[in-house]
Chains A and B, each alone.
Chain A
């Protein structure tokens, strides 16, 4: 099994199918289901893709499809932006009167 009982995982489930959504939406949004991603502790061992139950941090029981085990934080600092890197150097030159 991918994940043991008590493993920290991420699940996904649908809250509203397209036909159940708010009537006042742009078409591209209305076509999609409203989905939720949540993290919690597995109540039973399971494989990725299985329908599972988790306990959330506040102790609620939530069900969904198991998508990730020990989910990594993927946001980062990105790549250096050349267009911003020279800002400080340029501004220093102006401040110190080297350039107008």
Chain B
């Protein structure tokens, strides 16, 4: 009997397809109306730091260098008031097997798939995660399919995503390349049903556990180099996994005073499902198009409960413009001798500014870099931008307009950050959670869960709910 493959029919089978493809029964962690047992889920389904370290060592993942960026620190000090300008360190995640921190995530997901007897793995991603999964699948002897959103309706491919497709092919994966649209999820479900492969979702507990070693390592490396704990860790934020995993790892290393700052490239005004806007951006991830919605509603993902919950860990959330990231990418190459991909320098651009707010003896860590190449490099992306009619010129970064104007700063003191109000995101999240419930039905567990999930407290949640209900 052949299955109904229409869009609505497949989407209605989503839960059963996912359950078979990730091997997790999420129902057992649901506790009350809104709440679920997050920490229990992470402990029962995830792996400990030691287990993750062992698994990652088997496939050469992790233990990347922590590099002090002395020239960029000096530049920050020149732009900062006297006595300010924290020491800027960067974790060179580009040196993982497939060139990004995503290898840490993939290492655990693919290990899990092999352990559970799946013949292959599937990843729906237009980002570095695809290559990471392909690389780990090659090492562990599993087949691999990567599903990407690459082209607009004219058949024009985003160069960065074309490069990621090439890399996945080079690593022996089958690559399925789509035109713009959220129905990528529908295609993913069809393929999972057809092949029976494991869904190497970005949002399962083992994926997040994989990133914890990043945070754990960087704390130990900072201690070894400076005798202190890091004052701030700056993390590029899109889906929330990077923030969640890194913060959990830092906390597991016992660094309790570290501030967690998320950063996204500002793409305000561009619609993520728009055929017209798709090729009018030079960053395909690590931007506000993912960062804001995923922070304010994490459970929008392929699995019932998202292990990546950014609001649980973020102390601050800022944005930078595309032009500022390209400028910092040049600075990293020409002043520090590290040619790295622009998307991996989003948090470096913010860290450069944040360092100027901090004292000179403080430590700020940028927790990633990514590899670069054709399609990814600034020259590739800015040439593409110009071909798509976007103006690229030097000037004041405040004149940057996502989709129409990319401004390369004229002076290093112009690089700036904009704060996104975390309170607004927390309010939005809580509002969505309680939308379907009568307040009288909420339990203590629900209030505690909301407090933890927003890094606040019971009083904050109660006051907010009162306000929402008028």
Mark A residues whose CB is within 8 Å of B.
Answer: 15-16, 20-22, 24-26, 28-29, 32-40, 56-60, 73-81, 83-84, 87-88, 91-92, 94-95
Contact = CB atoms under 8 A, between A and B. Distances in A.
B187 A56 contact: no
- Which of A24, A33, A39: most chain B CB closer than 10 A? A39
A77 B380 contact: yes
B251 interface: no
A22 B377 contact: no
- Which of A25, A35, A76: most chain B CB closer than 10 A? A76
Contact of B378 (A33, A36, A75, A84): A84
A63 to B, nearest CB: 14
A21 B169 CA distance: 28
B330 A84 contact: yes
B334 A35 contact: no
A39 B169 contact: yes
A77 B380 CA distance: 4
Given A29-B274, A32-B179, A81-B382, A95 B7 contact: no
Given A26-B271, A26-B274, 7 more contacts: A36-B178, A58-B145, A60-B195, A77-B374, A81-B383, A83-B392, A95-B335
B116 interface: no
27 contacts: A24-B273, A25-B182, A26-B276, A28-B275, A29-B274, A32-B153, A32-B179, A32-B180, A32-B275, A36-B176, A39-B175, A58-B174, A58-B195, A73-B374, A75-B166, A75-B374, A77-B380, A78-B159, A78-B380, A78-B381, A80-B379, A84-B408, A88-B331, A88-B334, A91-B75, A95-B74, A95-B78
Interface of B: 6-7, 71, 74-75, 78, 120, 143-145, 150-151, 153, 157, 159, 162-163, 166, 169, 172-183, 186-187, 194-195, 271, 273-276, 326-327, 330-331, 333-335, 374-375, 377-384, 392-394, 408, 412
Given A75-B380, A84-B327, A94 B75 contact: yes
B125 to A, nearest CB: 16
Contacts of A77: 374, 377, 379-380
B335 A22 contact: no
Contact of A36 (B187, B333, B380): B187
A56 B120 CA distance: 14
B370 to A, nearest CB: 16
A80 B377 CA distance: 10
Contacts of B330: 84, 87-88
Contacts of B271: 26
Nearest to B182: A22
A19 to B, nearest CB: 10
Contact of A81 (B177, B334, B392): B392
Nearest to B377: A77
A73 B161 CA distance: 12
A20 B120 contact: no
- Which of A26, A57, A76, A87: most chain B CB closer than 10 A? A87
Given A22-B181, A58-B174, A83 B394 contact: yes
